[in-house]
Amino acid sequence: MSSDRGRFAKLWREIEPIANAKGYDLNIKEHIEGHGHSVDEYFWLPDKSGMAIPATKDGRHYYIRSMGKDTEEHKCILRLLQDISFEPATAIPIDIFEGPRDRVFMVMHQLAPHWLVPWHTIEDHSMSVAYFMRIVTRMLQNIARLHAAGVAHLDIRPHNVMLDNDGLPVFIDLGVSIVVGDEPNLPLCTTPCPGTRLVPCTTQFGFHAPQRVAEQPFDGRADDVFGVGVFLERCFFATPSQKALLKEILTEFERLLTMMREEDESLRIKAGYAYDQRVKMVIDRPDLLNDEATSRMPF
């Protein structure tokens, strides 16, 4: 076992008695000490999040994620818990407990990876139009609810989109998220710049807005909207058959994606926040569900 892996396992062993007392059995041996994910003690620095590891309780499967107490991620989680809805935008913890080294541990249900995580799409495979519209609806609702709670995700990409028990998308991994709170219009920047809030750099440029990629001041909410737009485009508007079908039956979807990827941040935010109108425009199409020729769409 590598020295990094050994230190990482030792840190989890420190909180194992606390988790056990709450009924959780941590899978440290297989997931960390065995041949699981690569590990790095970077994740246990005070202002960083830790890798989530599997756990079981009463035969049910969970993940337990480590984060620094009072870090931005911890504050985002607490903010979202205060604004919880019956259809939450993110994976909501079912239990939170504190441990040594000023760490907080979040327990959440084990979610399934989104089946559209690969950027490619497969010709001649199809899904129901009804399910497609539900996914678009939920993604737009997720982003609006997240921002309404005063949180900017800042890392929306396929691997941070999981499926809940209903097969609908939720966001995960708030490791670089921030609470925008009472200053939603304060620009963010990945480099020091007067009048902005400094945020960490990231390498996920494919899903970031032009302003962020260029290391210019940017609006975190507008960056989130851009990321969701790119996600939807790569999932549902990539192959020739998708483009042909969507142009024919859902021209609104094409317009929506264009708005979500606007250069102008204010226009982009309006596109993301107007989900109630946009969603109605997309889902209020009963003719699609009754027409056998268009009851399914390629993905």
With CA atoms as reference, report the closest residue to 151 among 190, 182, 110, 191.
Answer: 182
Listed residues 81, 110, 139: the one ending a domain: 110
CA dihedral 192, 197, 200, 203 (to 10 degrees): -90
Within 172-264, where are the H helices? 210-213, 220-236, 240-249, 251-260
| CB-based burial, 29-52: b 16+ in 10 Å, e otherwise | eebbbeebeebeeeebeeebbbbb
Within 30-183, where are the H helices? 72-82, 129-148
Give the pLDDT score at 45: 45
CATH number reported for the structural domain that contains residue 72 in this entry: 3.30.200.20
CATH number reported for the structural domain that contains residue 145 in this entry: 1.10.510.10
244 and 169 in a single domain? The answer is yes
With CA atoms as reference, report the closest residue to 30 among 65, 67, 5.
Answer: 5
CA dihedral 268, 270, 272, 277 (to 10 degrees): -140
207 and 279 in a single domain? The answer is yes
| pLDDT band, residue 40 (cuts 50/70/90) | very low
235 and 154 in a single domain? The answer is yes
Tell the burial category of 214 from Cβ atoms under 10 Å away from its Cβ (0-12, 13-18, 19+). Answer: exposed
pTM: 0.85
What does pLDDT average to over the chain? Answer: 80
| pLDDT band, residue 43 (cuts 50/70/90) | very low
Q: Select, from the ranges 31-35, 66-70, 109-113, 126-130, the one with the highest average predicted confidence (pLDDT).
A: 66-70
Please report, for residues 20, 58, 80, 82, the alpha-carbon distance to residue 23 in angstroms, rounded to integers and kept in the order given.
5, 8, 25, 26
Which range of residues forms the domain containing residue 211?
113-298
User: How many domains is the chain partitioned into structurally?
Assistant: 2
121 and 232 in a single domain? The answer is yes
Residue 44 has pLDDT above 60, yes or no: no
| pLDDT band, residue 1 (cuts 50/70/90) | very low
Q: What SS3 class is residue 197?
A: strand
